[in-house]
Structure formats: C-alpha cells, structure tokens
Amino acid sequence: EAGVTQSPTHLIKTRGQQATLRCSPISGHTSVYWYQQALGLGLQFLLWYDEGEERNRGNFPPRFSGRQFPNYSSELNVNALELEDSALYLCASSLGDTQYFGPGTRLTVL
C-alpha cells in the first residue's frame, strides 16, 4: 500500500513569492494534516482538512492557506513568503486517530 506522498521534494522561492505544496493521502484516508518543522521551532500544527472542509487551524497567519480536493488530496499555499517560512513542511493523513506522515517538502526562501 502506498504511503503519503508529497511534491515537490524541494522548493526554492524568493521573498514575497507564493509557494504551493501538494499532498496525496494514503488510499482510503479522508483527513489530511499539515505541519511545519522549522529549525529551532520544532513541529507545529498548521491545518487539518477532512471531507473537503478545514476543521482546525494552528497559530499561523492567514497567508498560510490550503484546500482539500474531492479525491482527498490537498494543497498548502503560502503567500507573500518570508525568510522565516523556510522549513520542512510535512503532510499526514488519517482515517481515524493515527496520523501517518509523508516525506515532506523542504521550502527554502531566499
């Protein structure tokens, strides 16, 4: 069974640009979660989507947004990129309580 997949693996942007990160959940999983792992800040919860709706949001500004598609895949969009947005962005999926993570997208903002 294929695990959670994320694309791209690496993304390099300049300050002020927009970044789009993508995630495909494990087949049959309806919930998708996004986390940010920034150096020195640890793993922080960003967003939770379930059945196409945003269910919960972490303490991040509105320029972090996303959506979930009818096939349960998800996009994370980060607008007006700032240097401190440089991080590993991890996507997870679940059917119940347990979250399974993808390999991450490393975003570098120059």
Partner 1 sequence: GEDVEQSLFLSVREGDSSVINCTYTDSSSTYLYWYKQEPGAGLQLLTYIFSNMDMKQDQRLTVLLNKKDKHLSLRIADTQTGDSAIYFCAESRPAGNKLTFGGGTRVLVKP
Q: Which residues bind partner 1 (CB under 8 A)?
A: 4, 6, 31, 33, 35, 42-43, 45, 48, 50, 55-56, 58, 90, 92, 94, 97-104
In the complex with partner 1, the residue whose CB is nearer, 14 or 55, is 55
DSSP one-letter code for 8: -
By C-beta, is 15 or 55 nearer to partner 1? 55
In a 10 Å sphere around its CB, with 0-12 CB exposed, 13-18 middle and 19+ buried, how is residue 72 labelled? Answer: buried
Nearest CA-CA partner of 21 in 53, 70, 67, 57? 67
Please, are residues 34 and 76 in contact by the beta-carbon 8 Å criterion?
yes
| Distance in Å, CB of 92 to partner 1, minimum | 8
Supply the minimum distance, in Å, between the C-beta of residue 73 and partner 1: 17
13 or 58: CB nearest partner 1: 58
